[in-house]
Amino acid sequence: MSIREDIRAGLERDPATLTGFELFLTSPGLHAIWLYRSAHWLWKRKRRILARMVSNHAKFYTAIEIHPGAVIGKRLVIDHGVGVVIGETAVIGDDVLIYHGVTLGGKTLEPVKRHPTVGDRVILGAGSKLIGNIEIGNDCAVGANAVVTRSMPNGTVAVGVNARLLPMTGEDYYVI
């Protein structure tokens, strides 16, 4: 994963940012991802306290909380990221777009896989909550403020509280 690849992904999915230099200097989502990678590197090497310290620094600096134990794929973009929370056992695929206020949370205190697994090319709308050890398939979208507590098959849209699943159409993908 390269800095250039991250910047390119951010520019492709954030029309309000005009240059890579601007994104590099001003994107809290980008900064959170880079600090997460440092924390995750430490976490994998059993430097848990130091990893959590880096994670806490990132949370203070960006208002985005990513546990260092989470696994995140390539080209994640966090747009307007304030309030994003990604739990310890969450797994996020490639080319995912997350808006502000999104939670990938758990619903048990047991030391098991307790956070969502998000596939590739998924959009998580503002304020959406994905709770528990569920799987969100590839090419899915979760609408703003939807609460998802069940797995989603590939190519579906989740809307509402508790979210209902609908078939995905090409037009829906960018409306959410």
- In the predicted structure, residue 174 carries a pLDDT above the cut 60: no
- In the predicted structure, residue 166 carries a pLDDT above the cut 60: yes
pLDDT given at position 160: 87
Residue pair 158/140 in contact (Cβ under 8 Å)? The answer is: yes
Fold of 3-174: UDP N-Acetylglucosamine Acyltransferase; domain 1 (2.160.10)
pLDDT given at position 171: 62
pLDDT given at position 109: 86
pLDDT given at position 167: 79
Please state, in angstroms and rounded to a whole number, the distance separating the CA atoms of residues 50 and 52: 5
∠ Cα 158 152 72 (to 5°): 100
The domain segmentation of the chain, as residue ranges, is 3-174
- What does DSSP assign to residue 152? B
Q: Of all helices (H) and strands (E), which one includes residue 125?
A: none
Q: What is the pLDDT of residues 58-115, one digit of tens each?
A: 999 999 999 999 999 999 999 998 999 999 999 999 999 999 999 999 988 888 999 9
Residue pair 86/70 in contact (Cβ under 8 Å)? The answer is: yes
Average pLDDT, the chain: 93
Question: Is residue 102 classed as helix, strand or coil in its secondary structure?
Answer: coil
pLDDT given at position 172: 56
The answer for residues whose C-beta is within 8 angstroms of residue 137's C-beta and 6 or more apart is: 119, 151, 152, 153, 154, 155, 156
Residue pair 45/54 in contact (Cβ under 8 Å)? The answer is: no
